[in-house]
Chains A and B, each alone.
Chain A
Amino acid sequence: MNDDELDRMGRRAAASARRHAATHADPDGDLAAVFARADAEVTARRGPPWWFLAAAAAGIIAIAVGAIGFVNGRRDGDLVAGGPGSTPTTTTITTISPATNVSASLSRSTPGGATTVPTVAPPPTTASAPDTPPATTTTTVGTSATSSTQPSTPVTTAAPPTEPPTTTTLPYASSDEVLADPDVFGDDGRPRRLVDRSIVVGDDASTAIPIDVPESELRLIGVGPDDVAYVWAVDPGTAQTRIVAVPTSGPNVGVVTERAAFAEDGPWYPRMTETGVDTMALVGQEVVPYLDADGAPVARDDRYTWSVEHRFDDADTAAVITERATGATATVPETVPAIEGYFDGPIRPLPDGRVVVTVSRDGTTPVDWAYDPGTGTWTEHPR
């Protein structure tokens, strides 16, 4: 099955599923169920109803009265001594059975003969935001940290499925994963490959998009928003290096736009980041913004509010993060030996506002450090 057939089948299946949902939807019933479940939770949170409490109180009083009678030796049915010379009489208290069976009154029979027993609503849970990250900790270092553990998250009886059991895995893609899995996929999910001097979509050679540049050495860096490919072009003779953008779909497909030019070749490490092509080098760094299908720069994603810079001196490299809006900085507690390929680029905060930086311990073991701006503490997350 080729790509087009797959897409056609997917669209057909989606249309069928939408029809299915529209046909079988019962919004009134579901909305009523939502409200009923919400009310049941409130009822459970409030405790038993007044009539239940009244009945319980009456029961307690009755038991207390009985107990007093027992203590006084005046039990029901016993001979009760009258006054002097009086004839002994017997008083009997008759117990009246309830007219209906208790268990029957609590259950409902269904037409099929099966018996359903009303279920008790589960205890209320805290509002479950789906974006709460797992709280995992091994070590905490920071200006205000005094404990080696984070406060535990509130316990809920029905934890949202986004909160997995305690783990040291953070919910984000690390830079290592990004580098290991280059972003060469278009918005249609098909990979772009550089074949000779053309970009090919998927495995279909007929889609070859020639790259019209004079440089003899080309390398596909990745594919950004709107299926625009970014190509590293080098002229070995002059050491001139450029980054060019090439749309792989849309009206401007194949139109080459220069995004950056460098006077001399060097140990560049271009990589795709959230906001643009990050051109890492030993000295200097630049993030080349992406273009959209019309050739206009793509606006920065506001979620990426922090940037990271790896500063190195003769001995060590320290990672410093900076909040763009406020300029506030924090330094990762763990330094690593000076390395090539340090980078300065955007990092994405976790949904709870923490920010994660990965350092390479001993040059081999990636270690994630999470920074909590609220407390000014760093938390180590070994993998």
Chain B
Amino acid sequence: MGFARQSVGMVTHGGDQGFERFFRAEHSNVLGLAVVMSGDRETARDIVQEAFLRAYRDWERVATLDAPAAWVKRVAVNLSIDRHRKRDNERIALERLHARPSLEATFDDPAADSWWRAVRELPDRQRAVVALHYLDDMPIKEVAAVLEIAPGTVKSSLSKARSTLARTLGPREADR
């Protein structure tokens, strides 16, 4: 489905079609990333829209980047981290009121639920590294490029994350 833009003023250069193609090619990938990072489908959708909106606002520049998809994923990761912190605060407040939010996305594989729940308990950087590395099957160098950190930092973060996951998931899976 194509969208005939009835813009009220947004610059509608030839890039609109280019943006739409880019959007459709990357939408599912960014959504998956946002879902596993945020753990909440509606939040993830909002993150996806916001990330692509930022790309659209600056599309003339973003389109010329070597990897526009990496740019959007970086925005999505940062937004997810931001929302995750806010949601943590909300969760704490709700728990104080003896109520728990039931917004968590559920997957078709119980092991995936356990895995991504454990991933979301990791520190921000480790969470982002694990999500990109496993979800997109992304090599270290690409993860480093997306997050704009050194490859060595990605590797050490991944190693620490794996140690934590092995420790936390081992007992959980053993309980199954």
Contacts and interface: CB of A to CB of B under 8 A. Distances in A.
Contacts, number: 188
Given A12-B115, A30-B48, A20 B107 contact: yes
Contacts of A294: none
Interface string B50-94: 001110111001000000000100110011011000000000000
B153 A173 contact: yes
Given A178-B152, A189-B161, A37 B78 contact: no
B115 A10 contact: yes
Contacts of B130: 10
B53 A34 contact: yes
A31 B23 contact: yes
A176 B10 CA distance: 47
Question: Size class of A's contact patch?
Answer: 35 or more
B24 A189 contact: no
Interface string A1-43: 1110010011111111111111011111011111101110111
Chain B residues touching A, range = 35 or more
Given A17-B36, A39-B7, A272-B152, A161 B159 contact: no
Interface string B137-174: 10111000000111111011011011001100110010
A17 B116 contact: yes
B41 A24 contact: yes
Given A18-B32, A127-B57, A130-B71, A43 B8 contact: yes
Given A21-B35, A187-B140, A128 B155 contact: no
B20 interface: yes
A42 B169 CA distance: 48
A12 B49 contact: no
* In the A-B complex, the 10 residue pairs with the closest CB atoms: A189-B158, A185-B155, A16-B112, A21-B32, A13-B115, A127-B58, A161-B82, A183-B152, A13-B112, A1-B170
